[in-house]
Structure 1
Amino acid sequence: MSEISVVAVNVAKAGKEDELAALLSGLIAPTANDAGMIRYELHRDLDDPGIFVFHEIWESRKALDAHLSTEHIARYRQLSPDLVERKELFITAKIG
């Protein structure tokens, strides 16, 4: 199977931007140890500091699914409802 690309957008609730930034930044170090991770980058919108975008590349869907089952992602899921107004997730496969 080809590489899997993920774009995950998190929009902070008003006044929760810094807390969400800390929560999302805290995912970077543990994810570096997740098998099959090629790229895992967190970006913040230049015009709206409440918008955060992860750009991820995984070796396979199996590697991504394993990442989504980790303790650090479970912690994010537990804490994010108080911080996130809106989420969008795009999962695509590399063509060619």
Structure 2
Amino acid sequence: MNIWLTAVIKTKPEYREEVLAVLQHMVQETRKEEACLLYDLHQGTTDKDLFVFYEIWKNQEGLDAHNRQPYIAAFAALAAGKLAEAPQIYLTEKI
């Protein structure tokens, strides 16, 4: 069963470019994963410090494997001091 995930990330303004580079690297690498059906990154139109991932995964196992990748760990390490707030993750199902 597919999994739809939306992740909202708010960076501190002074780290926007650094965080964006890491997020873009995550997109590049994640799209190579077998279980990844869609992995799109969006940026706020009025708030450039706001980033939103829209993701579709084949299954929970694939999402779990994604969350163990080194580029996800690198983002988690970066996020500790450079985000304005903790990322918000929403798991949804299509209705």
TM-score (norm 1): 0.91
CA distance in 2, matches of 1:27, 1:84: 16
Q: Counterpart of 1:37?
A: 36
Q: Mind listing any 5+ residue stretches in structure 2 that lack a counterpart?
A: none
CA distance in 2, matches of 1:93, 1:36: 17
Q: Mind listing any 5+ residue stretches in structure 1 that lack a counterpart?
A: none
TM-score (norm 2): 0.92
CA distance in 2, matches of 1:14, 1:76: 17
Q: Which has the higher helix share?
A: 2
CA distance in 1, matches of 2:94, 2:64: 17
Q: Counterpart of 2:89?
A: 89
Percent same amino acid at aligned positions?
Answer: 30
- 1:11 CA displacement: 0.2
Give the letter for the 2:92 counterpart.
Answer: T
CA distance in 2, matches of 1:35, 1:91: 19
- 1:93 CA displacement: 2.7
Q: Say what the alpha-carbon RMSD is for the aligned residues.
A: 1.1
1:65-93 Cα offsets, whole Å, 9 max, x none, are 11001111111111121221121000123
CA distance in 2, matches of 1:30, 1:19: 17
Does the residue aligned with 2:77 lie in a helix, a strand or coil? helix
Give the letter for the 2:17 counterpart.
Answer: D
Count of aligned residue pairs for this structure pair: 94
Poorly superposed stretches of 4+, deviation over 4 Å: none
Does the residue aligned with 2:13 lie in a helix, a strand or coil? coil
- 1:64 CA displacement: 0.5
